Amino acid sequence: MTEPRRSDPCVMVIFGATGDLTKRKLFPALYYLARDGYLPDNFAVLGVSRGEMSSEQYAARMADEIRTFVGDAVDGDLVDWFRKRIYYTGGDFNADKQLFDDIKILLERISSDHAIPSNYFFYLAVPPSLFADVTTKICRHGLAEETDGDWRRVIYEKPFGRDLASAKELNSHVLKILKEDQIYRIDHYLGKETVQNILVFRFGNSIFEPIWNRNFVDHVQITVSENLGVEDRAGYYDRAGALRDMVPNHIFQLITLTAMEPPVSFKADAVRDEQAKILQAMQEYSPEDVLHKTVRGQYAAGSIDGKDAPAYRDEEDVPAASETETYAAMKLAIDNWRWAGVPFYVRTGKRLERKHTTIVIQFKRAPFVLFRNTPVEKLTTNRIVLHIQPDEGITLHFGAKIPGPVVNMGDVDMEFDYADHFGETVSTGYERLLYDCMIGDATLFQRADMVEESWRVVSPVLDVWDALPARDFPNYPAGSWGPSEADDLLEKDGRSWKNDIE
């Protein structure tokens, strides 16, 4: 095992310091990093938000949040360590020039109090509509200028743009005032252990790559299902919808890692070049394709785990006649030598039967039936299932002889379970990403061209969906596997979704 190296001494500035992400994910992730020896002593956090409060008040509040979200195993000394390193300043991001002057002065003080060089990274946990403006102000106040070997970086939460045109505009704006290597477009799926393991599984073993192509693979299925509804995020979600929220980011990350060629090294650009090639190879949809190769849905009332669940249109802050999709399924084609003719089916939705994220690599049937008692359509097909969450592991599905005097085949699984093998590890998924930003490794972050290629693929779908509002919404009950049209999408190709994967 490689020994961890502590991150560079630095100050993390969080815009959106009182938001949900900060308390649920960012502070617990920093806590776990410190616990495991990845943070240096010369480290501090500066929270920035609208409300007024002192640094002491904010530090006390975040110390409580760390205790809440880390739970019983929390180490009191470590929480105190953090408390001494947490600062706060409040003001209006839009109007207040004073706020950025305050940030600058405070950063100088924090740097000198904790002997931290001027290495700063700014985490924009704010609505995407503020990205451009906050970046401009950071730069205008000289906060992004790298001098004397110190670094300055900016992390953007998703979504980066809401279609191709807005993503291009945002990229062009931030690239005028920052260098690409200062920009970290985050996608928290890349922080998940099992997502990172896709690369290790494929390229750290020699037995999978030879069959990982159109000669052996029949199709690939990716499911990212959630049983939760829109929760308290209707304001954002009703404007976004399932496609924007999940597909060009999380699901496309899963596709690129599953489909990419081996990179020449694990350097950021070598990996991202290969991912970008997959995105470039994704066929764009014609309006006709959108009608035949995509499905959208919105949940009606239903029941999940025995509890009643309301319809999307009855959720808090959702307009009563909302046309927003809470489910999206698509058939995608990757036009390259490895994948020509192999469909990639993807689906995602809220209020589905249960939460699970899986990638199914479905292999072709054996070419010929040797066994008299097993008709060809009953022959087992092989599949590799990468379980991303909540259970993390890998399953290989194959056929075996059922014991007895005649040759009959049965389906069996060979399973690898992360927790059984390596023990439970508690993490938020943000640890690796924050740490990588602090050591300047952008491998797991999206590059400008990747973001734009992703929007290129989904924007035509959004255009058609906007132009033709769905007439059948709501079209799936909460607690089901989504609209029946999504089943038809595969059935017309003689295939079906694998819903019974545990």
* Residue 139 or 243 having the CB closest to ligand BG6: 243
Encoded amino acid at 415, one letter: E
* Residue 61 or 351 having the CB closest to ligand BG6: 351
**Please, which of residues 127-166 interact with ligand BG6 by CB under 6 A?**
158
The CA distance from 336 to 185, in Å, is: 27
Q: What dihedral angle (degrees, nearest 10) is formed by the CA atoms of 412, 395, 281, 484?
A: 70
The 383-389 sheet, strands edge to edge: 294-297, 327-332, 344-349, 217-225, 356-363, 383-389, 393-401, 409-417
The CA distance from 383 to 279, in Å, is: 24
The CA distance from 434 to 157, in Å, is: 12
Q: Residue 46: helix, strand or coil by DSSP?
A: strand
Mention every residue, 6+ apart, whose C-beta is less than 8 A from residue 314: 301, 320
* 210's tokens: 């030879």
Whose tokens are 């020509």? That residue is 340
User: Among 188, 219, 250, 387, which one carries the catalytic annotation?
Assistant: 250
CB of 245 to ligand BG6, least distance (A): 5
Beta carbons of 102 and 54 less than 8 angstroms apart:
no
The CA distance from 230 to 239, in Å, is: 12
* Residue 19 or 40 having the CB closest to ligand BG6: 19
* Residue 218 or 245 having the CB closest to ligand BG6: 245
DSSP 8-class letter at 82: H
Backbone phi, psi, residue 47, to 5°: -90, 135
For this structure, is 397 an active site residue?
no
**Please, which of residues 219-258 interact with ligand BG6 by CB under 6 A?**
226, 245
Q: How many amino acids of this chain bind ligand BG6 (CB under 6 A)?
A: 3
Q: Residue 334: helix, strand or coil by DSSP?
A: strand
CB of 158 to ligand BG6, least distance (A): 6
Q: CB count, 10 Å around CB of 490?
A: 19
Burial class (CB in 10 A: 0-12, 13-18, 19+), 337: exposed
* Residue 193 or 261 having the CB closest to ligand BG6: 193
* DSSP of 342-387: --EEEEEESSBSS-EEEEEEEEPPPSS---TTS-GGGS---EEEEE
Q: Residue 392: helix, strand or coil by DSSP?
A: coil
Beta carbons of 99 and 130 less than 8 angstroms apart:
no
* Residue 85 or 158 having the CB closest to ligand BG6: 158
Residue 430 Cα distances to 163, 180, 190, 369, 445, angstroms = 25, 21, 9, 49, 12
* Residue 226 or 441 having the CB closest to ligand BG6: 226
* Residue 158 or 447 having the CB closest to ligand BG6: 158
The CA distance from 453 to 334, in Å, is: 13
* 435's tokens: 């740490």
* Residue 430 or 435 having the CB closest to ligand BG6: 430
The CA distance from 21 to 18, in Å, is: 8
Tell me which residues touch ligand BG6 (CB under 6 A).
158, 226, 245
Residues assigned a catalytic role: 250
